[in-house]
Chain A
Amino acid sequence: MEETKINAQPIDSKIPEGPIAEKWTNYKAHQKLVNPANKRKLDIIVVGTGLAGASAAATLGEMGFNVLNFCIQDSPRRAHSIAAQGGINAAKNYQNDGDSVYRLFYDTVKGGDYRAREANVYRLAEVSNNIIDQCVAQGVPFAREYGGLLANRSFGGAQVSRTFYAKGQTGQQLLLGAYSSLNRMIHAGKVKSYNRYEMHDVVIIDGRARGIIAKNLVTGKLERFAAHAVVIATGGYGNTYFLSTNAMGCNCSAAMACYRHGAYFANPAYVQIHPTCIPVHGDKQSKLTLMSESLRNDGRIWVPKSIEDAKKLQAGQIKGSDIPEEERDYYLERRYPAFGNLVPRDVASRAAKERCDKGYGVNNTGKAVFLDFSEAINRLGIDVIRQRYGNLFDMYEEITDVNPGELANEINGVKYYNPMMIYPAIHYTMGGIWVDYELQTSIKGLFAIGECNFSDHGANRLGASALMQGLADGYFVLPYTIQNYLSDQISVPRFSTDAPEFDAAEKKVQADLDHMMSIQGKRSVDSIHKELGNVMWDYVGMARTKESLEIALSKLKELRKEFENNLFIPGTQEGMNIELDKAFRLRDFITMGELIAYDALNRHESCGGHFREEHQTEEGEAKRDDENFFYVACWKYNGDDETAPTLIKEPLHYEAIKVQTRNYKS
């Protein structure tokens, strides 16, 4: 194993001066702006149409810039933000339960296990309220009380009710809101929309991002696009694990293209495992389905107290509803009395794994725990519960053939309903392209927003914060900060796509595609991707060790060889070739997998979504090492995929919050 190279060059995160609460106000007051006549002369490429991409493209268009907006799906409305179920946080304090910008900021930093950049998180909490105003004005039908005002619910990692929601489809409604603003700008001619296009490379001219090479997925042709700045909003890299809650098309190729050009990749090891997904059922499975975290408001998580009951459950001899209240181990409520079932995701996921590893799993694979609504249904009635979670219950029933709202048993006068079965699954990636306070990457003119960047969630993201971050970046942060960059670009004329840099970039991409087509081996893309997923889940998954990570790195090297020598893609490059598109993404997933493993290996501590078995307390809780690892790990590409990247550290400085051990027990 080669030593990780560490680069000592300083890193400038451009955090403004002043007290935390005034940084963003000060920044906006003193930043450079672009006047309306000049905005018309500037072009911006936005890759991606999720919450971050669509909101940024729409807002930049409204401001007067010319925007080119790309998505791989057939319509901008299909981006995977649409699948977010639970809700969006904001510090409105409409419920009068003591919420404030500071508290949202504090909860987010604490939830992120003190590995987020303080100033970014404070700004996020600050603009959270504007997001709700914005969305309501767009016609997003948030849930309301009978009095006509907005309703809230609580979410993991918080002791206040600050989550706004639209049934179990909040992501859909927020994305459709952003999509409607985007449509308005497309209609006005300020945004040009390119659907079924996939970015294959970013074009750098004189050290600045000046365009992209994108493939028209229908014709199979590579096309060139030039602009004054490029914004990447292409989401996370969860599909490195093959099975995840991400959509099938989610990929990290755009991010990897930036990384290969020298953009730092930060904290790749921070991968969020969501505790409430439907368990894996077989090796033909293509993806995992999330059951919204909001279910934990009324659902109670348990496994049997006795190992005998667990064995009977695994053998299919009894059902969950056959086990009476006193025989159930509500292990989250037992271990974390203060937060109970609402502990953050990383904590809940590890607790489930701990129980299942001890043999208490409740399905035939032994990898599932129960999520039970009996108590809530008995307390509130089935109608109230269906009103809250009806569509989630239906979804669960369609997939598993079990209706969680159905009365299953009555023991000693207590009614027991069918419990759901859940198990943790890869859901979100906190790591991403490194950005400074302005959301600019380490390449000038290249910006990264939404899940694609690393900035706000530290080592773990709280529920209902992803939507908040995506929209904050797109509506309220990037449209300001990008002007600070563009203000001195107004005299730069539009670039011709005939520039030699475009030629070179297109040739390179074409050569890569030609190479993949020419391998003509024996294995399909999916079969290699599944193998990658298994390596990642087994060795770089929920619990990692030095040994497992080293095994992973050597297995990934093998896998790359397999990809390079034994891949088979049918068809030609003429027209649509879905296998070629998937192969292009898989190549980058393999590199991404290595990057995750390198980072995980380097971080000798447990924090948030990164758990090293060597670093835990006697009770099995994560043990951080603030003395040695209180930094953002930024990885710099070293010229080719085979070589290990160089680590650059961005030290964290906390002014407003005192770093302490996370405690959800009391």
Chain B
Amino acid sequence: MWLTNSSVGRKIVMSVTGLFLVLFVTFHALMNAVALISFDAYNAICEFLGANWYAVLGTLILAGGFAIHIIFAFWLTLQNRKARGNIRYAVTSKPKEVEWASQNMLVLGLIVLCFLVLHLVQFWAKMQLPELMGEHIMPGKWYLEATFSHLWVLPVYLIGFAALWFHICHGFWSAFQTLGTANDKWIERWQCISKWWATIVFILFAVEACYFTWFFAL
């Protein structure tokens, strides 16, 4: 199978799953933004995305996407370390054209993953999971309060969002480059779009987290 056997194939898997995750994150940010306006509307969305078959299917696909993205990330990194050889350079220097994020995608990804685990424990494990097991759950707003009423949550979330910002800044345009949709002009355009997209998502999440903290903890 060329998607696993060839280097470009493996990268295409990374880019397709990556773009899918970018889309998910975007929807997530927009969905949360509803709570800024109305908690009732937010509760309705939470209920809609509960233990219904389409939501469960969506969750499974999403989990699969994450899993593939993460497994391939480790696999590629291992291969790349091997390709680099056993002896490292004594002196290295990053050319100014090279983004810092692009050389640290695995580390950034790991930070995002840690954040994700925390986030799943705080929300998914208390919302969709028990509902699937037939337990009764509270409306969405209740879980926001349970989480953001603790002051330590905000800085931890902001670190997670920042890592996500760096990760998307490189990952987004890189995906389009890998899918062969770039040329001299479009590389710059995709890079620009990528920065904007990552920044909008970051601002949405950050504003939401700050608002919830202010609303529930202060």
Chains A and B in contact, CB within 8 Å: no
Q: Which residues of B contact A (CB under 8 A)?
A: none
Q: Which residues of A contact B (CB under 8 A)?
A: none
